[in-house]
Amino acid sequence: MTDDAAHDPKYSTFVKRLVSFKKRKTNGQKAETDEQFCDRLGISISRFRSWLYKGTEPDIPSLLHLSETLDVSPDWLYLGRGHSVEYLRDEGLRVTRIPREPLEIVEEIEAEEAARETEPHKKRRKIS
């Protein structure tokens, strides 16, 4: 790790958070090895180790991929801003995810509702 990278708050935040995910135990198992962790994240071991030991920073696509895979925001992972999803869950706060479904569905429903509201109301005749 370079001296500059070691003293960069962004770098140390990113590395600390990344390592904390690696050390977490799942279902009573031991912490993952570097290889297992990298396989789970879909990154190369050399890239992971260059972040840890050489002080290189992740590129934007890698940061986005990691945050998606780890279920955290890129800001939280890299800069430590905001809260992790786990923190919000622990605090009992409701976490709402925006669905990735196309906006066209919502627009279609809104158009149908608007059309119903503008239709002239038809009077029904009473049958006696």
What does the domain layout of the chain look like in residue ranges? 3-95
Low-confidence winner among 60-64, 65-69, 111-115, 116-120 (lowest mean pLDDT)? 116-120
Does residue 44 register a pLDDT over 80? yes
Largest CA distance in the chain: 93
Which residues fall within 8 angstroms of residue 12, CB to CB, at 6 or more apart? 6
Cα 109 to Cα 97: distance, rounded to the nearest angstrom: 20
Backbone angles phi, psi at 79, to 5 degrees: -105, -15
Q: What is the pLDDT of residue 66?
A: 92
Band the pLDDT of 125: cuts 50, 70, 90.
low
Band the pLDDT of 115: cuts 50, 70, 90.
confident
pLDDT tens digits, one per residue of 9-20: 555 788 888 888
Q: Which stretches of the chain are DSSP H helices?
A: 3-7, 9-23, 34-41, 45-49, 60-70, 74-79, 85-90, 103-118
More confident residue, 4 or 83: 83
Cα 4 to Cα 72: distance, rounded to the nearest angstrom: 26
Say what the pTM is: 0.54
Average pLDDT, the chain: 74
User: Does domain 3-95 match CATH 1.10.260.40?
Assistant: yes
